[in-house]
Structure 1
């Protein structure tokens, strides 16, 4: 389990006074498996970091849920639309395990950004890293076939295969659970 200070430092280097100031604004909270951090079509400008546990982001359609993100220890969790535009998010984010999170409200971060350039630069690096992760997921969906996406998942995020239901993984890969079973059998 990572402390909030370690999670902050993993994003980018930050001076000790700024680290202390930023860390002091986070509150540690515990939620059970299944808890919804964000609800589709609602505005919520809270930012979380996962100390322990797993989360998934999904979009609910009339037919099914489409999973497009998993978060684990050290990851940030927030609704981009709500956070940046103050508009309803398109996703729901649910916890897949009992989880411990660090929480800070957007208005607290904004206040820290305007009073401490080191924290403002830290926030910029956080968003830059999020953009890169979104781009990597998009490129994977566009350029790799289902087997390649699964192998990529195995290589880069093997813990997901142990901690996440296969139907969520299939949805994340953009395939049916039957296709996922076939791919897994071929790889063995």
Structure 2
């Protein structure tokens, strides 16, 4: 997915503003299994996924708990680092070799002060990230594992071909055995 498409799906920008923002973005490539963001670190970069899939996870009682998947067109960010300049709690691992667009947050912050259109784009970005987080929280609290699995398949139809089932089970908060049962019931 091209950077112009990704930026526009967040919020349309006038051509001159989009050009300023794109001028601060570079393309980077990392191999499968690369740990892009690390917990307990202040992250100073935002990434947009051109190609590939990633997962966010945190540790609980020495277990990795997957709580988010990102694919083409999505943003990789530590919101705690971005908003509060504090260490984040998440690790972001690349599940495939990835092509990413990289933006340093200090450059983005400078553009916010310089261009109201980019500042509004940033506000819309933050609002969308908040809604996504809220939806994940509500789904986790009020949906069954089967409902969460069905939603995951709807939002990420190619996920089963791209992500190990153990990570999907972790995301759903269930064991792989329970996931197998849910998958058998849906077929």
Contact 1:45 1:78 in 2 (8 A): no
User: Does the residue aligned with 2:62 lie in a helix, a strand or coil?
Assistant: coil
TM-score after normalising by structure 1: 0.97
May I ask how many residue pairs the two structures share in their alignment?
Answer: 187
Q: Matches of 1:134 and 1:62 in 2, distance apart?
A: 23
Q: Do the aligned partners of 1:29 and 1:102 also contact (CA within 8 Å) in 2?
A: yes
Runs of 4+ in 1 over 2 A off after TM superposition: none
Q: How big is the shift at 1:155?
A: 2.0
Shift of residue 35 of structure 1? 0.7
* Counterpart-to-counterpart distance in 2, 1:76 and 1:147: 26
* Cross-structure match for 1:109: 108
Deviation digits for residues 81-111 of structure 1, max 9, x if unmatched?
1111111111100100000000011100000
Q: CA RMSD in A?
A: 0.9
Instruction: Identify unmatched segments of 5+ residues in structure 1.
Output: none
> What is the distance in 2 between the residues matched to 1:139 and 1:92?
22
Q: Which residue of 2 aligns with 1:184?
A: 183
Secondary structure at 1:158's aligned position in 2? coil
Name structure 2 gaps, 5 residues minimum.
none
Aligned equivalents of 1:162, 1:129: Cα separation in 2: 27
Q: Does 1:158 align with 2:170?
A: no
Alignment of 1:45-124 (within 5 A): 45-124=44-123
Partners of 2:61 and 2:147 in 1: how far apart?
29
- The answer (yes or no) to whether the contact 1:48–1:102 under 8 Å persists in 2 is yes
- Residue 132 of structure 2 is matched in structure 1 by 133
The equivalent residue for 1:19 is: 18
